Amino acid sequence: MRAHRIEDGKVRTEHLASSAMRPLSWSPSGSWMTYLVTSTRENAQLKARRFDGDRWYEPVTLSGPSGRGAPSSIAWSPTRDQLLVTDRVDRSESYAIAMPRPDGSFAMRPLVTPDMASTGRWQSGARWAPSGDRVVVVWNTATGERRVTVFDVSATDDLTTTAHEITPPAGASFSAIEPTRVGDETVRDGMISPDGLWMVFVVQQEGDEAAKALHAFSTTGASPPRVLEGCPVSAADGGASRCRPYAWVGDSTLLIERVGAALEAWTPATDSRSSFADLSPDGRWLVLSHAELQSDAGWLVAVDLHAPGPLSAREIFRGARGEARTFTFSPRGTSIVVHRASGSSEVARGTWIELATGHVVTVDVAVPPRKKADPSLLISEWRPRIGSDDRTLAIARGDTLALWQLDRPQETAVVLEGVPATAHVTWLPAR
């Protein structure tokens, strides 16, 4: 594994590790990078390496909560330098928060309640709230009862956590949502709003398999549960009109997909329903996808929510209907990339659109090999190709990887000699 820095048009390369493999991930501040070092899969070690903007420090080895070696999975908080580490042994998982100390070591903070420890949990799962200060654990008891515990990890000391349990209404239990791919995200149980204050579950009335409805629960316990009325979940009671959660937008508005109909939006905090919006990460741009049902035509319009006066929509793309539904925002939200058909499993063709100016550039980018030849997954490969400055793109120059700044001719791209075009790319977060 090597780190490349471009200064005054020259590339400075530093060797970091041998036998490194994915996952590579940065902490939100850009001060830490984690990676897996292995000679065999049975002898893997998870390393965390500090970077102060100029110097790389010696790596620190991290173990999972069980202390049996490298954890099964890791995830940085979206907003804080805290790492959620998971161990999976047989059918049970255990969790902890690893937090860097000033001296470069890590404090381990177990995430467990007396109830979780005593009931023999299994097939559990944990994820960060987008706000980055809470972890939600969905777990099953040995008897199959589904339970939900929220851990507040916002304290800055090494060991303090608080937890509370989210419970379904009396006479009901948490059911399940079959995971579904939507763009870059996976729709699943316990979808958490961007502000971290709400999460949705399917709730089923005991003794009635057909009586399932979407409920929204406050992650802090500050508000009572909300139920989405008139939106059946199961096929038995909804038929062709049944619905499912699609994605969160804004701070706490949930898009609802109703089979055979347009998307709807629901805001649990106010229990209101309205039209839907796809918002940029910075909340400035609203991008809407339209399609003509009688043809293969589709188009995108953008609305600047920060513009003075009445809001107005501006068409930014027109093409095939499928292409108008497959776009992703750049990290800062200043642009979108629309996935275009390339006719190749190794090259992704994208139309880069700057939302403020409408400037359009079409580029071909080599993508890493995939296990599934599913064109709908190509869009997920664009996000790691876009730099955190929203203006640098990792592109292919022949068989070699190159870095291209979009406001300059492609011929000026800086070639990283010896780095294959299909190499996995990770970027230092914007400081």
Each residue's pLDDT tens digit in the chain (431 positions)?
Answer: 788 888 887 888 888 776 656 667 899 999 999 988 775 555 678 889 999 888 888 889 888 787 766 777 889 999 999 999 988 777 678 889 999 988 888 988 889 888 887 776 665 688 898 889 999 988 888 777 888 899 999 877 766 788 889 888 888 888 765 544 444 445 456 788 888 899 988 888 777 766 788 889 998 888 899 988 877 776 554 455 567 787 776 677 787 877 655 567 788 888 876 544 577 888 888 887 776 656 788 888 888 878 876 667 788 999 887 788 778 899 899 999 888 876 666 667 788 999 999 999 887 776 655 544 444 445 556 777 888 898 898 888 888 889 988 888 888 889 999 998 878 888 888 77
DSSP state of 424: -
Q: Is 378 helix (H, G, I), strand (E, B) or coil?
A: helix
For residue 191, the cross-strand partners are: 200
Q: Say what the pLDDT of residue 279 is.
A: 78
Instruction: Give how far Cα 32 sits from Cα of 90, 134, 431, Å.
Output: 31, 20, 13
Return the half-sphere exposure (C-beta side, CA atoms, 13 A cut-off) of residue 8: 0
Q: What is the pLDDT of residue 183?
A: 41
Report helix, strand or coil for 117.
Answer: helix
Per DSSP, helices labelled H in 17-98 are none
Give residue 202's pLDDT: 85
Inside any domain, residue 294: no
The predicted pLDDT at position 181 comes to 45
Can you tell me the distance from the alpha carbon of 129 to that of 137, in angstroms, rounded to the nearest whole number?
10
**pLDDT, position 376:** 46
Residue with tokens 């493999």: 21
- The answer to whether position 341 is within a domain reads yes
Residue 2: the pLDDT is: 82
The closest alpha carbon to 83, from 103, 105, 104, 108, belongs to 108
Residue 385 three-state SS: helix
Distances (CA, A) of 377 to 176, 281, 369, 382: 24, 21, 11, 10
Left (φ > 0), alpha (ψ -120 to 50) or beta: where does 114 sit? alpha
Range(s) of the domain holding residue 415: 322-431
How many structural domains are present in the chain?
1
Tokens 């995108």 -> residue? 300
- The answer to whether residue 303 is domain-embedded is no
Residue 404 forms part of a structural domain: yes
**Whole-angstrom distance, CA of residue 252 vs CA of residue 82:** 24
Structural domain includes residue 396: yes
The number of helix segments (H) and strand segments (E) in the chain equals 2, 36
